[in-house]
Structure 1
Amino acid sequence: MLRRTIPALLIAAGAAFGVYWWLTAPAALALPVAARAPNLVNGQELFNAGGCASCHAVPNQPDRLRLGGGLPLGSPFGTFYAPNISPDPTDGIGRWSEADFINAAMRGVSPEGTHYFPAFPYTSYHLADVDDFRDLFAYLKTLPAVQGKVRDHDVPFPFNIRRNVGIWKLLFMDGKPFAPDASRSPQWNRGAYLVNGFGHCAECHSPRNFLSGIITSQRFAGGPNPDGEGWVPNITQKGIGAWSEKDIADFLETGDMPEGDSASGAMRPVIKNLAQLTREDRAAMASYLKSLPPVDGPTPPKRKAGGG
């Protein structure tokens, strides 16, 4: 009996591992090979919409275009460190091909064929248009090369097993591109594209489940700050219903709220990026955000007495 049981268990284990290996395989995009003149103005606009400098600029120095990385990003699964995405050929992405960059940003797959952790918001970026990422890549190559290798992520076992990210992607990343809503205006669709894609606003402004996937029914409804400190506000009409489109657009430019408060914490560098956008793109984002229906999110913790 035992002689028959052990081989059967080994076969079952081997089959299970084979299924796991197949399901978790990194999937790259089939990309166009036709030559195309990049639009650097568009690339710069998307650089600012995506807030690339917020994470990838070298911390504690004034130049937001020095993308040497190093910023620590806290999470329930460990601390991630934003990589160097400057054109440096040794420490940055100077030797990457256009296909390498697009697959990294839109599929979370490294040039070596491994999964990137979803601290990199490719779960939002995958909604965007490939040609927009081609423009962004061309713009990044015009920025200063910054030397310096960023330290490894501080992520404990078993969360440090990159292959498991393939299962996470199956659960929380559908791979479907942004689809314009024909019943809406071009301005609204542009705003929806920026907010959900390059702007990746939902990544911080939505609560997450125990696997750190966005809770779809509470998208944009706020929740605990992913880094564990503070609370990210609800930006549906439940949270900012009293704001007009102009209020929202002004906030995206200045960080000033209609009630007299100002953006703080991680939102301040985001505003610095959004302030560089065209007035039309900020208005488009405001149009879309104002249209979000009210959604109840998690209840913020009560402030301590005397805590301000």
Structure 2
Amino acid sequence: MVKRILKIVLFSVLSVVLLLLLFYVYVSWDFNQRAKKSYTYDVSVPKISYDSANLVLGEHLSVIKGCRDCHENDLGGRVLIDDPALGRLVPPNLTKGENGIGSQYSHEDWVRALRHGVGPDQKPLLFMPAHETANMTEKDMAALIAYCTQASPVTRSLPEIEIRPVGKLLNFFGKMHMLPVEIIDHDFVPLADMDKRVSPEFGEYLAVSCTGCHYSTFKGGSPQIPDSPPVADITSSGNLARWSEADFIQTLRTGKTPEGKIMQNEFMPWKMTSAFTDDELKSLYLFLKNQQ
């Protein structure tokens, strides 16, 4: 009797293991097929100007859009994450130095990457958060491209990006977007420019950069990267129910909340948000405060 029960248990366990293995084989195959899919988009290239005002704006955008958080301050790229289960995530060298994409990308390629998450080969750019730059105005897009294309050449040898089992599973379940091309509204028509005076509308434009971690609802929840802390609710049903505008600005400038909590930059990039102007932070506060 005991032997029979053990055989049944062993068979059940092996069956579950086999089913899980088959499921992962499907997930891996599905991811690889989607990663090889070709996308063709006609793009409109804004006028790229290299005057000083435009380059200053582009530099500012490279900080508040997180470009330098991922690609390093010199835009030369780095290994952002190398986890045996999740994958090796490697934002590339954006400059015209050796191994940099800057010498290979045309202005059309830059727009295609930033608006659609697609490379010059028409294949998806892995882990490139184009869903956070797709809505940029023509003016901001032009300034960011101008700044990136004139960056000092950096020569840096980097390994290839590699999405491993956990990364593929998280992507399959929509928990981590390894293929942002799939979640972008490719019919979106960008504004020529944006009124950057303090307003909820300007705040909404800026808040797109928050959706990568706090989700489109801004209510946070489970982290997208395993072993990271839960993501905070940044709407009026979360911390903003208690925080004043001054509290909000102080938190995003210093990384210290009104309650005295010190935020770790790798989980909440306050060193990036500290570069926001007062008007940008006030606008962001107005927008998020109005989110229920």
* Superposition deviation, residue 121 in structure 1: 0.9
Question: Quick check: 1:250 aligned with 2:250?
Answer: yes
Give the residue type in structure 2 aligned to 1:25.
S
* Partner Cα distance (2:233, 2:101) in 1: 35
TM-score, with normalisation over the residues of structure 2? 0.71
Question: Which ranges in structure 2 are unaligned for 5 or more consecutive residues?
Answer: 1-32
For residues 136 and 55 of structure 2, what CA distance do their matches in structure 1 show? 17
Q: Which residue of 2 aligns with 1:148?
A: 156
Matched residue SS, 2:228 = coil
SS in structure 2 at match of 1:258: coil
Equivalences for residues 100-179 of structure 1 within 5 A:
100-117=109-126, 119-156=127-164, 169-170=181-182, 173=185, 175-177=187-189
Gaps of 5+ in 1: 1-19, 58-63, 207-216, 294-308
Q: Are residue 192 (structure 1) and residue 204 (structure 2) matched?
A: yes
Alignment root-mean-square deviation, CA: 3.5
Alignment-derived partner of residue 282 in structure 2: 283
- 1:210-236 deviation digits (Å, cap 9, x = unpaired): xxxxxxx74433322424432221212
Q: 1:65 — aligned with what?
A: 74
CA contact (8 A) 2:204 2:284 kept: yes
Question: How many residue pairs end up in the alignment?
Answer: 245
The alpha-carbon deviation at position 154 of structure 1 amounts to 2.2
Distance 1:143 1:218, change over 3 A: same
1:40 aligns with 2:55: yes
CA contact under 8 A between 1:98 and 1:134: conserved in structure 2?
Answer: no
Q: Does 1:98 align with 2:107?
A: yes
Distance in 2 of aligned mates of 1:233 and 1:75: 27
- 1:302 corresponds to which residue? none
Q: Say if 1:178 and 1:193, in contact at 8 Å, map to a contact too.
A: no
- How far apart are residue 137 of structure 1 and its match? 1.5
2:90 alignment counterpart: 81
**CA distance in structure 1 between the partners assigned to 2:267 and 2:179 by the alignment:** 31
1-side partners of 2:213 and 2:236: how far apart?
17
Gap change, CA 1:225 and 1:44, over 3 Å in 2: same
**Hey, which of these two has a bigger chunk of helix by percent?**
2
The answer to whether the 8 Å contact 2:43/2:112 transfers is: no
Name the aligned partner's letter for residue 135 of structure 2. L
Any conservation in 1 of the 2:45–2:111 contact (CA below 8 Å)?
Answer: no
Change (3 A) 1:246 1:29: farther
Within the alignment, does 1:222 sit opposite 2:221 as a pair? yes
TM-score by length of 1: 0.67
Q: Which range is displaced more, 88-97 or 108-117?
A: 88-97
| Whole-Å separation in 1 of the counterparts to 2:244 and 2:85 | 35
Question: Which of 14, 23, 27 is the equivalent residue of 2:40?
Answer: 27
1:221-240 equivalent positions in 2, closer than 5 A: 221-240=220-239
Q: Deviations for 1:78-127, whole angstroms, at most 9, x for unmatched residues?
A: 3322211233253342332221111111111112221112x211112111
Contact 2:85–2:164 at 8 Å: present in 1 too? Answer: no
Deviation at 1:156, TM superposition (A): 4.2
